Amino acid sequence: MFKYVFGVDLGGTTVKIGLLTTSGEKVDVWEIPTRTEQNGKYILGDIAKSVRAKMEEKGITDSEVMGVGIGAPGPVDSKGVIYNAVNLGWGKFNLEEELHSIVKLPVKAGNDANVAAYGEAWKGGGKGYSNMLLATLGTGVGGGIIIDGKLLNGATGAGGEIGHIHIEDEEEDTCGCGNHGCFEQYASATGAVRLAKRELVASNEDSVLRSENDLTCKLIFDAAKAGDALAKRVIEKYGYYLGKGLAAVASVTNPEVIVLGGGVSKCGEILFDLLRPSYEKYVFPGSANVKFALAELGNDAGIFGAARMLIDKD
């Protein structure tokens, strides 16, 4: 009878590891550095050592552990093969088999954004729903899609990469992916700042944002809430694009709930009011009746989702 499961959230600078019970209670959460030197050759060994040390510390035997789930910053296919995690210096290899051969426990691997969606669906903003879309609004826009309780990984692990659907023909700036008019050029935190800078250049209108040297998404939303007219227009535009992009994804995947996570989601439920007009305008009517929710697990979504992959596997 399994009592425990490990969830690993592998990032570019730190690895967050969670020891959870199989019903999803946190027993312990800690971090180790991500050693990216020499093409990241130490990373999996470090994780295995840390997991094994924790088992010894807590007196946990192999037979009590369901396994180790790991979310990694790159596309991971359904066989556990990771493709080109550039931040870690990794090429293409079977992450599940490799980590399993070192840690000697069952391993399940997934893309970090998809895994976070799994966490939110299990214990966070999407709890109780089988069909969920998580949009992570941070430096970029990531996504994870849960269909009938399962992750949509896609052929090469690029499923749920909602940040790069095209939503604006008139865009002249280039997205990080090389295209123009990608969803994440507007709906990320960076996108909100970009929209604000454009609005500031377009007029001489008074705005508290003019005195900010280091514009952030939070400053823009705070200014809008305090009544700044220009900031208000910026967040309305932000909401327009957020709703438009989510409508495209929801028209295809028909979720019950759309969960907003990432830094921008800290702005709160005002986001729902901002996005709803364009969401309703652009969505296929059959997918219009959706609930919106905020992510609840913050940085813990990855460890919960990673652990959950194991529980699902058995």
Residues at the interface with a second copy (CB under 8 A): 75, 78, 129-131, 143, 145, 147-148, 150, 152-166, 168-169, 177-179, 244, 247-249, 251-256, 281-287, 289-290
Q: How far apart are CA 22 and CA 65, in angstroms?
A: 9
Would you say 6 or 90 has its CB closer to a second copy?
A: 90
Quote the least distance from Cβ 194 to a second copy, whole Å.
19
Quote the least distance from Cβ 177 to a second copy, whole Å.
6
Quote the least distance from Cβ 77 to a second copy, whole Å.
9
- Name 98's Cβ contacts closer than 8 Å, sequence gap at least 6: 44
Q: How far apart are CA 119 and CA 304, in angstroms?
A: 5
Quote the least distance from Cβ 53 to a second copy, whole Å.
35
Quote the least distance from Cβ 118 to a second copy, whole Å.
15
Quote the least distance from Cβ 155 to a second copy, whole Å.
4
Would you say 17 or 293 has its CB closer to a second copy?
A: 293
Quote the least distance from Cβ 183 to a second copy, whole Å.
9
Q: How far apart are CA 211 and CA 3, in angstroms?
A: 55
Would you say 146 or 200 has its CB closer to a second copy?
A: 146
Would you say 18 or 69 has its CB closer to a second copy?
A: 69
Would you say 36 or 251 has its CB closer to a second copy?
A: 251
- Name 14's Cβ contacts closer than 8 Å, sequence gap at least 6: 31, 32, 33, 34
Q: How far apart are CA 314 and CA 308, in angstroms?
A: 10
Q: How far apart are CA 17 and CA 224, in angstroms?
A: 38
Helical spans, DSSP H, in the chain: 37-40, 43-58, 95-103, 112-123, 184-187, 189-202, 217-225, 229-253, 270-282, 301-313
3-state secondary structure of 293: strand
With both helix axes pointing from N to C terminus, report the angle between 229-253 and 217-225 in degrees, rounded to the nearest 10: 120
Would you say 87 or 131 has its CB closer to a second copy?
A: 131
Distances (CA, A) of 46 to 64, 107, 300: 22, 15, 20
Paired tokens of 8: 């690993």
Q: How far apart are CA 242 and CA 254, in angstroms?
A: 17
Would you say 104 or 281 has its CB closer to a second copy?
A: 281
Quote the least distance from Cβ 196 to a second copy, whole Å.
22
Query: CA-CA-CA-CA torsion for 197, 199, 258, 180, nearest 10 degrees?
Result: -70
Quote the least distance from Cβ 166 to a second copy, whole Å.
4
Would you say 132 or 267 has its CB closer to a second copy?
A: 132
- The strands making up 150-151's β-sheet, listed across from edge to edge, are 150-151, 141-147, 132-137, 257-261, 291-294
Would you say 32 or 147 has its CB closer to a second copy?
A: 147
217 phi/psi in degrees, rounded to 5: -60, -40
